[in-house]
Amino acid sequence: MYGNEAQVGRAIHGYLSKQKDQPNALTRQDIFYTTKLLSNDGYDATRASIKDSLRICGLGYIDLFLIHAPYGGKTLRLESWRAIEDAIADKEIRAGGVSNYNIHHLKEILDSKPRVFPAVNQLELHPFNTRAEITAFCQQNGIIVEAYTPLTRGYKLKDPTIVSLARKYGCTAAQLLVRWSLQHGFVPLPKSKTKERIVENAAVEGFEISGEDMKVLDGLDERFVIDWDPLDEP
Q: Is 2 a catalytic residue?
A: yes
Distance CA 9, CA 58 (A): 6
Distance CA 132, CA 125 (A): 9
Position 222 pLDDT exceeds 80 = yes
Distance CA 84, CA 64 (A): 10
> What integer pLDDT is reported at residue 2 of this predicted model?
78
- The arithmetic mean of pLDDT across residues 71-96, rounded, is 97
Position 1 pLDDT exceeds 80 = no
Of these ranges, 9-23, 38-52, 161-175, the one predicted with the greatest mean pLDDT is 161-175
Catalytic residue among 2, 15, 43, 155: 2
What predicted TM-score, i.e. pTM, was given to this entire model?
0.94
- The arithmetic mean of pLDDT across residues 26-32, rounded, is 95
Whether residue 104 is annotated as binding a ligand: the answer is no
Q: Which CATH superfamily is domain 1-118 in?
A: NADP-dependent oxidoreductase domain (3.20.20.100)
Give counts: helices (H), strands (E), the chain.
9, 6
> What integer pLDDT is reported at residue 3 of this predicted model?
86
- Amino acid symbol at 48: A
pLDDT category at 39 given cuts 50, 70, 90 is confident
pLDDT category at 227 given cuts 50, 70, 90 is confident
Domain range annotation of the chain: 1-118, 149-233
Distance CA 233, CA 213 (A): 33
Position 137 pLDDT exceeds 80 = yes
Position 48 pLDDT exceeds 80 = yes
Position 38 pLDDT exceeds 90 = no
pLDDT digits (tens, 9 = 90+) for 174-214: 999 999 999 999 999 999 999 999 999 999 999 999 999 99
